[in-house]
Structure 1
């Protein structure tokens, strides 16, 4: 019998996991002779007390929302989509083809076309391993992670060949036309008279598309017949099939939705920030999405909050690397500790909390 209330599982377990990760991180910072309190203060000042810091944090957050939602949708069907990196790379290819070869008169139309291109390319790339899982029984973890490497090879092929401008030595496409460039938060702030806000920060209007994606995923999973079938298959495959739910169809649809969400990340990075397709633009966001989904309990609101946390860690880590002697490698270790405690070691935190609630229930 589960005596721990839902709110405790959603709030207390991630909170205590985060506190444990913060405690171990503080010990590591002390071990190299730095002050944990000063490090935290610098992260807060550089991220939350400067508008440019907010802009960078929200830029990273946008990436993590898309990839976290993608992993969450797959989780609900008991599918582990670890191919977010490759699906985002293919999404970037879709964005670049749409922006380079279609003459868009305005960014508001270009972002619609780029969204379709990113979603379709990510959807196709996730659909291939989904077919292998549904029809051939291939393990989804193995196939999706292998497709990451294939996607990297495909992206390299285009960036050193067909899409590279003549005479350029840079493995990247040409800059997208100005009519496809997305308004940044700095541009939007200037419209309302705040010229000094979000200066030089890459956050752009794709953040609002990420918020819309949160609402869409919530409606899909908890308010639509398809969402019910996805959750039913995730809870019990045999029971779902007995109820007439086709596992092949649901696996295919779920993974393609997941791939489309990963592909949409490229709107932020490729169309919004770099304004061209470059190598390594995903920056590991596909893998961070797994931790975001785990910490957010596969709920869109939880994913949003977890994405904000990891956006804070990314921007705060950059501040520490710039202004302290804390090496960049230790910052990566700190981020890994957060992932470890909020993901893999969740049950270590949950078990004692369950015992406390059981004692309170019996008493």
Structure 2
């Protein structure tokens, strides 16, 4: 989103826009976009929780080679997501400086902002989709021919009804609720949104007290979507968004659950706390006009024992963990710092 939008946060009520580009890449090519190795480029920011869903799913499913990834600078300018982390400030495959260029190639004067995750068609340079809600489900169900051997089933058919229900509740009150809290324009709006966040978190904690994962005994899409909010909670949502009734690290069940996932290959090894903190504190000038990025919190606790193994469960079902992170995609492990 451009800077003027970020400056407006805290002054106008927050409403998340629906994805304008909702084409799907499918095995039967029903939207005109075939599943094809190497054809598309996944553009993400490691700061963004919605994009992080796709990063985690892609790694768990072993789609790194089939769906190459571009990582945008966590700090935006007035044209939003930019490729200033790459040599010359251009994505080396797409040849563009800003993700907005792929949006404009698809539709001149498109409505809405420039969001990640986004999938771009490399041959044409046009955006295919920015539908963050559908993208990861399609990676799990439509890209199966390109999954690695031993890839987990992240959206098992027999559990989809329950997964969808849990994800909808978590989205409304937690994933999106932290934003409605942080960008509230008055006390009443803030208190209502904040209460909703913690009410849902307490219900989720009660659910997880006796089971290792949200639905069934394996990791599913529901866990990925909750994790991307929890891993940002103490670092940015507690302070920056004023979701401060308690910290994640003060809730024994959720803190152990989040650490369990963090230490599972495919989760913590995709998290860049530096990108997360710099994006939220420097970009949201409407609620943090100084742009100061706090030194804390202490991240070393993320590597501490969690004890969730006692609940059983099979993280990858009948599959296996993903292999090592490709060297080009490795992130600094700030959790090792004192």
* The structure with more strand, counted as a fraction of residues: 2
TM (norm. structure 2) is: 0.29
**Greater relative contact order (CA < 8 Å, ≥ 6 in sequence):** 1
Q: Which has the larger radius of gyration?
A: 1
Q: Provide the TM-score with structure 1 as the length reference.
A: 0.27
Structure with bigger helix share is: 1
